[in-house]
Amino acid sequence: MRHLNIKIYGLVQGVIFRQSAKKKAEELGLVGFVRNEPDGTVYIEAEGSDEVLEIFVHWCREGPEHASVEKVEAEEGDFENFQEFEIR
């Protein structure tokens, strides 16, 4: 199990990104959270297996239909042992 801190840049607020990320994370069995940041980015912390996190980060590069993702940064973080995936 790994923990990733993911930051998504572009037109990613006001396009149902958080709800879509939660749905995708739950489909993949990931736990963690997603939130909008004051700088216009979306920030996600996600925990799961290497292969599932890779699928999720790939999804983040596309996002939901109306999003326009410019860049995704993903880095290792400290494992938090989240129990669910939530929108904050």
Please report how many Cα atoms fall inside a 13 Å half-sphere around the Cα of residue 2, on the Cβ side.
14
Only one residue has tokens 């995704």, namely 72
Determine which one of 2, 35, 36, 88 is catalytic. 36
Residue 64's φ and ψ, nearest 5 degrees, are -70, 175
Query: What per-residue confidence (pLDDT) applies to 12?
Result: 98
Annotated catalytic residue 2:
no
Q: pLDDT 10s per residue in the chain (88 long)?
A: 999 999 999 999 999 999 999 999 999 999 999 999 999 999 999 999 999 999 999 999 999 999 999 999 999 999 999 999 999 9
Annotated catalytic residue 18:
yes
- Strand partners of residue 69: 10
Query: What per-residue confidence (pLDDT) applies to 57?
Result: 98
pTM reported for the whole predicted model: 0.96
Quickly list H helices, 29-77.
50-62
CATH architecture of 2-79: 2-Layer Sandwich (3.30)
CA R_g for the chain: 12
Q: Is 36 helix (H, G, I), strand (E, B) or coil?
A: strand
What residue segments make up the domains of the chain, in order of their start? 2-79
